[in-house]
Copies of this chain bind each other. A is one copy, B any other.
Amino acid sequence: MSATVHHLGRDSAPSLEPLMALVVSDMNQVNSVILDRMQSEIPLIPELAGHLIAGGGKRLRPMLTLAAAKLIDYSGYRHFKLAAAVEFIHTATLLHDDVVDGSDLRRGKTAANLIFGNPATVLVGDFLFSRSFELMVEDGSLKVLKILSHASAVIAEGEVNQLTAQRKIDTSEDRYLDIIGAKTAALFAAASRISAVVAERDEEVELALDSYGRNLGIAFQLVDDAIDYSSDSETMGKDAGDDFREGKVTLPVILAYARGTEEDRKFWKDAIIGHKSSNDDLFHATELLKQTGAIDDTMSRARHYGQRAIDALGAFPAGNARAAMTEAVEFAISRAY
């Protein structure tokens, strides 16, 4: 409902601008913590971490922490350090993902492991991960530590689950939702939730923010999955078609396989085990995804989770924060694909 109302009041495409504007000054504080705490006497650490951190990510997760604090009128400063901890966890997983995926691009730049090698990339990820826990310990909330250590374990489980599902065309939609719920949405949820913890708000508030972040995370990931089959590397900041070439079974593929003819299903089987990875094959795959409505319906699923994210904000007072957080969801599900 609120999405519709909001839509009517806006004549431009939804964007992240209101969210960024909402938190811009707080984000400067978070950025200071990030830059300060990624330092080390070992020069390679800030050099490698800086490649990714200075490399212009959206810092969406710490933005969620900051926006949630605005939404609930938290006027303290504890969430700056915690937002930095969230970004360190995210950066650590990205560095490890670069090693795991072997993708050539990350945020439009050469992936860290191709410049610095796998060993340094793994170890600097470990450093940032440890540093994130040091930041949480400095804050001193055991509840935040519990939320984020659990989220970290769940992320790693989700990544292993995805690895196990790789090149398995019979992955179910349920399993796929488990995977992205863990590897992507868990940190969105935790990032949104922790502001309610430091603000000492009710469990109900915590859970509403958790739900907002979790559903937004799933929506984001589903749209990313769709985009991977329909844009170029310039738009995505990573190689379009990567998922296809790596045999990743994402929702578009799951739907196209379920709906395909015998011939289509044979194509998908071959493609996912790596026997079809040329540009022509990618083009054919994209055609099949469009024909079967797999892309459209992936987007429709994404809108479903997006709407749930928006509705999770229902009990919070209207205002800049809620409007910006709502528009962030609309942005997520309206991205070009």
Could you tell me which A residues sit within 8 Å of B by CB distance? Answer: 40-45, 92-93, 96, 99-101, 118-120, 122-124, 126-127, 129-131, 133-134, 136-137, 140, 142, 145-146, 149-150, 152-153, 155-157, 159-161, 163-164
Contact = CB atoms under 8 A, between A and B. Distances in A.
Nearest to A152: B130
* Chain A interface, >50% SS class: helix
Contacts of A155: 126, 130
Number of this chain's copies in the assembly equals: 2
Pick from A42, A43, A101 the residue with the most CB of B within 10 Å.
Answer: A42
A227 to B, nearest CB: 23
Contacts of A44: 160, 163-164
28 contacts: A42-B164, A43-B164, A45-B157, A92-B126, A93-B126, A96-B123, A99-B119, A100-B119, A100-B122, A101-B119, A119-B163, A120-B160, A123-B160, A123-B163, A124-B156, A126-B159, A127-B156, A127-B157, A127-B160, A129-B129, A130-B149, A130-B150, A130-B156, A134-B149, A136-B149, A137-B145, A137-B146, A140-B142
A76 B156 CA distance: 32
Contacts of A136: 149
A187 to B, nearest CB: 12
Contacts of A45: 157, 160
B129 A100 contact: no
Given A42-B161, A44-B163, A99-B118, A152 B137 contact: no
Contact of A42 (B42, B92, B157): B157
Contacts of A131: 153
